[in-house]
Amino acid sequence: MSRKTERYPVKSANSLWHIYRTVPFAKVVKNFAVIQISRYMPFLQMKNWLYRRFLRMKVGDETAVALMVMLDVMFPERISIGRNTIIGYNTTILAHEYLIKEYRLGDVIIGDEVMIGANTTILPGVTIGDNAIISAGTLVNRDVAAGSFVGGNPMQVIREQATI
């Protein structure tokens, strides 16, 4: 299973120099403010409301996004988190990547009842299936099958069918 991203080549300077051609500056400022407030927000219902209302994310009921989680500032609307999922402390979820000769965008889909350990990084275009467990400190660089337990950098399957 690989990542599903859309690729956009750039002709001159690296793609980060083209950032405000890809996303409006005002959107980035608003998203940054909401994400920073949410990173310190101790009230889960309020945090999920902010994500849904101002970032246009899909966030399932009873999902818990821990303190210091960093969501994609440019394209948070491309992140979907299922029901009763836990996103661990200081995790980063990206829906974009700016490279030298291109930038890439990809939806991040996190299923229901997923457990993501602290300090994990999830790259664009990744789908994490229902009931999966992601070990702390993992670089999620490809899809994770439902019920799997994965961990490490590079990410390895630890068990095919995990139980929470």
DSSP the chain: -----EEEE-SSS-GGGGHHHHS-HHHHHHHHHHHHHHHH---HHHHHHHHHHHH--EE-TT-EE-TT-EE-SS-GGGEEE-TT-EE-TT-EE-SEEE-SSEEEE--EEE-TT-EE-TT-EE-TT-EE-TT-EE-TT-EE-S-B-TT-EEETTTTEEEESS---
Catalytic residue among 47, 78, 96, 104: 96
Q: Which of 66, 131, 134, 56 minimizes the C-alpha distance to 95?
A: 56
Distance CA 144, CA 90 (A): 20
Beta strands 102-105 and 6-9 are antiparallel
| 18 catalytically annotated | no
Catalytic residues: 96
